[in-house]
Homo-oligomer: A and B are copies of this chain.
């Protein structure tokens, strides 16, 4: 019997979208180096596609802010600048606040338990000082809350903006103090979520984001002198 649910629909992707989804993570974890040229030819060879769909993909990535197109000079991987950080984090703050508010309304008890489990995983990683694992659980928690908000547009907006801030190197530079604080903020997040206290969760998420911004800005100031964009 043929069901008509979305889950059963045959999903066919266009080549350019496939490329967008393959190249985006390369940018997010800095395999494509910020500030450097996007090696169009190499990528075409790597993925065995012609330049047409690759260039279409780059145009989409440009509209997401992950690459910058310079007319007649090609595509460049964008860098994270202090200015951009100051612009994007406050936006992410209010968007996550909204997601928290909505999540408290719509999240199921089962989902809350899942988030709690992710939280415990995260604590585990924190105690083991396993930054990569910590970061992954962290991401999953934020994503779970976002999904619980039942708003695909919100999910997409957050993820697009997050991607720009999420160049991998950052996490490797979180101070021990900031890390401890982040964990305690997450305690608040899980508590207010379990209490379904949307107001408080919003407030915690905004504060959490503000601290994250400061942490990133601190790191940026110690490493590089903004080069471009």
Contacts and interface: CB of A to CB of B under 8 A. Distances in A.
A206 to B, nearest CB: 10
Interface in A48-74: 52, 55-56, 59-60, 62-65, 69, 71-72
B88 A153 contact: yes
A141 to B, nearest CB: 21
Contacts of A152: 87
Interface size class of A (residues with CB under 8 A): 20 to 34
Interface stretch (A29-37, A94-102, A119-127): A94-102
A84 interface: yes
Nearest to A92: B153
B14 A84 contact: no
B91 A154 contact: yes
16 contacts: A12-B71, A12-B72, A13-B71, A52-B52, A56-B56, A60-B62, A84-B153, A87-B153, A88-B153, A90-B102, A90-B151, A91-B157, A94-B94, A94-B97, A95-B95, A157-B157
